[in-house]
Each structure stands twice: as structure tokens, then as C-alpha cells.
Amino acid sequence: MEIHELRKASAFGQKIIMKAVVDCNSFYCSCERVFKPDLWNKPVVVLSNNDGCIVSRTDEAKELGVGMAAPYYQNKDVIEKNDIAVFSSNYNLYGDLSMRVMDTLRELVGEDKVEVYSVDEAFIDLSTVPHKQLYDVAKEIKETVEQWTGIKVSIGVAPTKVLAKLANRLSKKDKQKTDCIMVLNTEEEIIRALKKTAVEDIWGVGYRSATKLKRFWSIYDGLQLRNMNEEWARATLGGVVGVRLIKELKGEQTIKMKDPLEQKKMIATTRMFGKPVHELNDLKEAVASYTSRAAEKLRRQSCAAKFIDVFVVTNDYEGKQYQYNPQTKHNQTKLLQPTSHTHELIKNAVPLVEELYKAGSKYLKAGVMLGGLVPDESIQGNIFRKETENHQRILMEAMDNINFSMRDDVVKYVASGLKRNWKMRQEMRSGRYTTRWEELFVVH
């Protein structure tokens, strides 16, 4: 079946309810490789905020003993010894390439058949694909995504979301043998896959639940879990959630495809600081900057906020800055009138920081959350204020347009600071090749 015929398949094909999971392989590392083809088949790792921990690694780096989510400094000797390529997180690049992957999937199978699950993963509805053509369709999807975007993907196909996730995981176990595609379309194939999958590797089973299942019920793999009855699942695995899991393992769909969430109920902007912050002025600058970013997100969905919440994370331990249970403190205020204007939000956020600040403390992180969102066109003006103060949407739109086209907050409020010494550390970040004119990739 040609990929462009998927939308018409239900008119003549066999009606089969099948789901697929398309998962980008080592996504952050794959994004770096798109613009550095010399790194294909070579070890690569990507670090978290402030270059702290390893959040993405290629198979080659894994084979060399580089740990996932482990601190960078603990793996530095192995990385330097084996000449492993290291990059700071480049979220502008990753976000743009993620959008290209998802847009490609929508182009291939239809807008209403794709559910974006995370930045590197999406569910696809393949219920209109004839039974015998599932593998060929999955292969064509895989090859097209890789050709159009340069991002390698794995695809798992099965009757339910849980089984599709399981198939996807097994497709990565031996990539040369499976070509990163696994289709579970018979009872025998599903049973074999469940036997191969440890209970802790099943989507929806957490570490604590897996430990309890092994210790008290001698359940070690997916097949043993599937064979348990629904009443047992209701009592042991968290009620309705556990029953859904058992049903999904048996091939009964209970977790439906979801529509994309167009309107968020809360908007937040949070960041770790590049180095611990001690001064009140630096803390106020950071919160003002995060408030500006949150206000941009707010206006993008044409909403206004009723309240603002500011939080800070402290760690006054004298040792290493990111250890020993940091403390989080919140402060919230209700706005007199819902607003999306940056200056109004900053004016309310800064006093909250002043109330939270304690001299001598060491601040590692701060954030701003905007809640009580309402459509901005429903907001009434205030008769006690000048008309120019009530209607500043044009000013905000102009500011947003300039910053979107020029990037890097060309126009910003002075309250957010000029030097910004607290900014997140990204010492090994690659170019933002797809979102910055001045950083376009140069080909010789």
C-alpha cells in the first residue's frame, strides 16, 4: 500500500484496530548528528541544563559504559578517553526538529490520526490499514521520516497503546535484526513479546509497583502480569488504572487516542541558574525574565491570567550545589484584573520575590506560573484607568513580533536585566541551525 492511500484505506481495506508508536532514537543526539554527519556511528552524549547530567546517549556511548542520567563529571574520564562528542542541550534545535518529525507523520497518515505524546514520540492510529500490510506501511513511514528529517526512528505496532510501546521497545533490542520495526498482529507474537519483557519495562508499571509484584506475587514478566484477573488489578495496581493496564495487555483498547491540547490551563517558565544566585537583584531579574517568557506563551494562545505564582529553589548546604534535598518556596497573588501584559505581570511578580528572598541563602532555580486563564477578548476595560492603559495589545503584539523574528529578546524590559549572569550554562551548545539566521549551517 502506498503511504498516501492510508486516508482512503477504510473504504476498501480490512477493518483492524491497530496502534503504532513512532519513537525517535536517542533524539537529542540524533538532532546533533543531522548537521554533523561525521558523527554517525560514533559515540555522542547530550547534557542536561547547566551541563549537569547526561540526558541522551547513542548506542555507541552506551556500549562504552556511559551511564544514563548520571552526572557528567562522573563520566568525564570515559568520555575523554574514548573521544565521545559532548553537547549542551540545544532546545531551539530539538524543538524545531521535533515539529518537523510530527508534521511529517501528519502529512503521511492524516492530522486526526497522530497523537503527540512527547518531544520525541507519537502514537499513530493504523486501524484503516489492512492486516497484511502493517509492516510495509510502518517501514514506509520510518523511511520517509528519516529521509525528510534526518532523524532515525523506531516503530512498534500492536492492538493497544501498551502493547505498541512494548513492541517499540523490543524493536530496539536488536536493531540490525528488526530494522527498528516490530509488528505484533497475532496472539502468538504478543505472547512471545510479553515473555521477553520484564515487568518493570512495561509502560505504566513503576519501579515500586514492579518491586511489589516480584516480591509478593512472583510476577516477573509481562505475560505473568497479563494472566492476572481484573479484580486483582483493581485491588493491587491502583484501581481503574490497573484494570486498564491488564486489559491493554490482553489486547483490549482502553487508552484512547487523544486530541492535541490546544489551550493550556496553566503556563509556566522555570530554569536552573548557571551558577548559584545570592543577591536579591539577580533573583528579581531572573523572575522578571521568566515572567516575560510566560507572558509571551500566554498571548500566543490569546489568554489572560487571573493569578501569578512565583517559586524559588534554595540549597544552603555548604557542599556541592545540586545535592542534599533543595527546598522549594512558593508565593502567589491574585491579579486585580486578568491580564497578559508583560509589564503588569512583572509588576506583580517582583514583590513576590522580595517576600521570598532571605539574605545568605543560595538559590539554584526560580520559576513563574500563570493560572486562572481566560480568553483575553472577554476582559472588560477599567473605567478608572486611561484608555491607553486598558488597551496595550498592539504594543505587546509588536514586541512579540520583533522578538520572534529577531530572537534573543531584542526588545525586553529593563527589569529582566542586561548582563544576566544567572543564565543557564551551555558551554558546549551547537548552533541553532534552523531558528537563527546568524547561525545557519554553512556548507562548503
Q: pLDDT tens for residues 75-85? A: 889 999 999 99
Kindly state the cell numbers that stand for 172.
Answer: 530496539
Average pLDDT over residues 315-332: 68
Kindly state the cell numbers that stand for 365.
Answer: 532555580
Mean residue pLDDT across the chain: 86
Residue 310 pLDDT exceeds 60: yes
Could you tell me which residue, 373 or 420, shows the higher pLDDT? 373
Pairing of strands 363-371, 374-375: unpaired
- What is the predicted pLDDT for the residue at 440? 86
Q: Please tell me the distance from the alpha carbon of residue 401 to that of residue 299, in angstroms, as a whole number.
A: 12
Q: pLDDT tens for residues 48-60? A: 877 888 999 999 9
Which band of pLDDT confidence, cut at 50, 70 and 90, is reported for residue 389?
A: low
Could you tell me which residue, 362 or 420, shows the higher pLDDT? 362
- What is the predicted pLDDT for the residue at 319? 55
Percent of the chain with pLDDT over 90: 53
Q: pLDDT tens for residues 114-139? A: 999 999 999 999 988 988 899 999 99
The residue written with cell numbers 476498501 in the block is: 12
- What is the predicted pLDDT for the residue at 115? 94
- What is the predicted pLDDT for the residue at 92? 86
Residue 2 pLDDT exceeds 70: no
Sheet-wide strand order for 85-87: 54-57, 44-47, 85-87
Residue 371 pLDDT exceeds 90: yes
Q: Please tell me the distance from the alpha carbon of residue 376 to that of residue 381, in angstroms, as a whole number.
A: 11
- What is the predicted pLDDT for the residue at 1? 47
Average pLDDT over residues 394-418: 79
Could you tell me which residue, 345 or 274, shows the higher pLDDT? 345
Residue 294 pLDDT exceeds 80: yes
Helix, strand or coil, per DSSP, at residue 254: coil
Residue 267 pLDDT exceeds 80: yes
Q: pLDDT tens for residues 169-198? A: 999 998 999 999 999 989 999 999 999 999
| Closest C-alpha to 328, from 303, 365, 360, 297 | 365
Q: Please tell me the distance from the alpha carbon of residue 78 to that of residue 59, in angstroms, as a whole number.
A: 15
**Which of 10-24, 30-44, 78-92, 404-418 is the least confident region?**
10-24
Residue 410 pLDDT exceeds 90: no
- What is the predicted pLDDT for the residue at 13? 39
Distance of CA 171 to the CA centre of its chain: 22
Kindly state the cell numbers that stand for 241.
Answer: 488504572
Burial tier of 209 (Cβ tally within 10 Å: 0-12, 13-18, 19+)? buried
Secondary structure element (H or E) that encloses residue 27, with its range: helix 27-34
- Cβ proximity of 362 and 286 under 8 Å: no
Kindly state the cell numbers that stand for 344.
Answer: 503588569
- What is the predicted pLDDT for the residue at 259? 63
**DSSP class of 302:** T
Which band of pLDDT confidence, cut at 50, 70 and 90, is reported for residue 28?
A: very high
Range among 163-167, 236-240, 261-265, 322-326 rated most confident:
163-167
